[in-house]
Amino acid sequence: MTSPTPPLRVLALCLGNICRSPLAEALLRRELEAAGVRATVDSAGTGDWHVGRPADPRSAEVARTHGLVLNGRARQLTAQDFTDFDVIVAMDAQNLHDARQLAPVDARASLHLMREWDAQAPGADVPDPYYGGSDSDGLGGFETVYAMLERSAQAFAAQRKRAD
């Protein structure tokens, strides 16, 4: 008898862990579950300014309008995360670079950019909406970020489902 595959462990990563990665975390969890892929999903930031704080109210609001609840608290990426997770998904190239600096030599996690899975702009950055985007959508770019994250999370989940 073969033992069941352990759940896939996914970590969404941004700078502050209050705007983009909490949304990415909630969307990855929703889409992986919808695809029937067993997974645990968490998020973290490369910076420590907001550790312990809830998600930015603009992210929480855009999540709420799409039926998602963000109830995590910000935490900072640690070297241990490279052992505890299978996949770390960075929101932009700077996050990816910073994560690589912290990665131990025996890291288990593979590092990716979230928009590797966005067919509209593969490998592009998820822009940081913290200071308000120029592509204002009423929520200062947060709705645009949500759409990028949703497309990416759906394609990521579909790929993992095929790999299962």
Could you list the residues that contact ligand 4NP (CB under 6 A)? 14-20, 45, 49-50, 128, 130
86 labelled catalytic: no
From the CB of 118, what's the least distance to ligand 4NP, in Å? 16
16 or 140, CB closer to ligand 4NP?
16
Catalytic residue among 115, 118, 128, 160: 128
14 labelled catalytic: yes
Catalytic residue among 14, 29, 81, 92: 14
20 or 151, CB closer to ligand 4NP?
20
Helix (H) or strand (E) holding 80: none
User: Which string of b and e fits 73-99 if b means at least 16 CB within 10 Å?
Assistant: ebbbbeeebbeebebbbbbbeebbebb
CA-closest candidate to residue 52, choices 67, 28, 74: 74
Contact call for residues 153 and 68 (beta carbons, < 8 A): no
Q: Which residues lie across from 110 on neighbouring strands?
A: 87
- Phi and psi, residue 51, nearest 5°: -55, 130
34 or 121, CB closer to ligand 4NP?
121
37 or 95, CB closer to ligand 4NP?
95
Catalytic residue among 19, 20, 58, 81: 20
137 labelled catalytic: no
Match 């592509």 to its residue by tokens: 135
Residues 6+ apart with CB under 8 A from 81: 11, 44, 88, 109
From the CB of 138, what's the least distance to ligand 4NP, in Å? 18
From the CB of 127, what's the least distance to ligand 4NP, in Å? 9
From the CB of 74, what's the least distance to ligand 4NP, in Å? 8
Active site residues: 14, 20, 128
